[in-house]
Amino acid sequence: MPYHIDPKLIIDGTLYTLLVFSALTWTMIVFKIWQFDKNRYYNRRFNKSFWQATRLATAQNLPKTVSRGPKARLAKTGFTWLDNRRQASEPCLKYQGEPRALLEHVLMDATQKEARSMESGLTMLASIGSTAPFVGLFGTVLGIMHAMHEITASGSTSLNVVAGPIGDALIATAIGIAVAVPAVLAYNFFLRWARHQRTDLENFVAGFMRIAFSADTQIKE
């Protein structure tokens, strides 16, 4: 360690870094809980109103108070594609091909965008969970080096002199683990939740495709 750098400054910097990691972790946890709960609430409301509609036109014109959330956005994407294809005066490359495959591609692309939104921030949680213990260990190593240097300078090796500085240095490792555990648990929980919601969206897309190409709403090939 360069002697012109105060070791205590580096150790404090490590602890402040872990404090920032902890703040980011809990902020992301609160945000993701709010995001997933909001999406689940909106999806449940829209899903109920959508499938209770007696006609496709009725489902397309549901009130704005109900048409919110990922499923509503997927339905809007599908209805917009259907309307634009019917209104296209000349067939363009965008609408050339088998209609079912084209619509499915559009809806799956929209589903992937929704999935990316649900998974946003999870990489940060995974990174904090994997690096926080090492940041804490880095602070501990520096703290022990600093403690050993001071013990050597004092010329005393009694337990009272050695235990205090080394015990203080180990605090950084404990803080690193305390920061990492919530981040890892939250990452695993939210990743599982995101997969469940993505599966739910894919099931909705399959149902939308079924009614879009049913006998009563058959698209002209």
| Structural Rg of the chain based on CA atoms | 28
Measured at the CA of 105, the angle between CA 97 and CA 201, to 5 degrees, comes to 150
**pLDDT tens-digit series, residues 115-135:** 999 999 999 999 999 999 999
d(CA 138, CA 151): 20
**Token pair of 85, please?**
């294809």
Stronger pLDDT, 30 or 11, i.e. the higher one? 30
d(CA 77, CA 59): 13
109 alpha-carbon distance from chain centroid: 18
Q: Is the pLDDT at 109 greater than 90, yes or no?
A: yes
In this structure, what token pair is assigned to residue 181? Answer: 């555990």
- Tell me, what's the pLDDT at 11? 74
Residue holding tokens 């594609």? 81
Residue-level pLDDT at 5: 54
**Cα 119-188-107 angle, rounded to 5 deg:** 30
Whether the predicted pLDDT of 215 surpasses 50: no
Residue boundaries of the structural domains of the chain: 7-212
Q: Give the type of residue at 183.
A: A
Task: Specify the pLDDT at position 43.
Answer: 94
Residue type at position 173:
T
Write the CA distances from 95 to 9, 73, 132, 210, integer angstroms. 63, 21, 50, 19
* Cβ contact 183:128 at 8 Å: yes
What integer pLDDT is reported at residue 100 of this predicted model? 86
Residue of 100 and 219 predicted with greater confidence: 100
Q: Per-residue pLDDT for 221 more than 80? A: no
| Contact predicate 172/139, CB 8 Å | yes
- For 78, the enclosing helix (H) or strand (E) is helix 70-87
